[in-house]
Amino acid sequence: MNEKIISIAQTFISKTPEKEAYLKNFFHLLHGFDQDSQKKLLLLIKVLNVFSNLRYFKPINRISEIKRNKLLHAIYNAPISKLRGGVNGLRSLCLLAFYSMDENRASIGYKV
Partner 1 sequence: MTQKLEKKYDVIIIGSGAGGGVVADILSQKGLKCLILESGAYRKAEHFNQKEKDMSAIYYNRGAVFSKNMHIALAATNAVGGSTSVYTGVSFRPPKDVLESWKTEHGLSFLSDDFVNDTLDYFDKDLSIHELPESAINQNNTYFKQAAEKLGMKVKKLKLNIDNCSGQGFCNLGCTINAKRGTLVVQLPRAIKNGAELVHHANADKIAENTVYFTVRKAKEGVFENSLESGSYVAHAHTIVLAAGVLHTPAILLRSAKLLTLKNPNIGRYLTIHPAFNLHAVNKDKISNYKGFPKAYYIDQFSDKEGYYLETSFYYPGITAKNIPCWGEQHAALMAQYDHMMSIIILSHDKALANNRITINKKGQPVIEYTVSAETKTSLVKAIRKAAEIFLEAGCIAFRVPASRQIIGLTERDRLKDLIHEKYLDFAQTPLSTAHPQGGCRMGISDKNSVVDDNGKFWGSKSIYIADASLFPTSVKVNPYETVMLLATHVANQILK
CB nearer to partner 1: give 20 or 57.
20
Q: Does 111 bind partner 1 (CB under 8 A)?
A: yes
Nearer to partner 1, 67 or 91 (CB): 91
Q: Which residue's CB is nearer to partner 1, number 32 or number 54?
A: 32
The answer for residues whose C-beta is within 8 angstroms of residue 112's C-beta and 6 or more apart is: 105
Crossing angle of helices 35-56 and 81-99, rounded to 10°: 110
Contact flag: residue 76 with partner 1 (CB under 8 A): yes
Q: Is 69 in the site for partner 1 (CB under 8 A)?
A: yes
62 within 8 A of 3, measured Cβ to Cβ: no
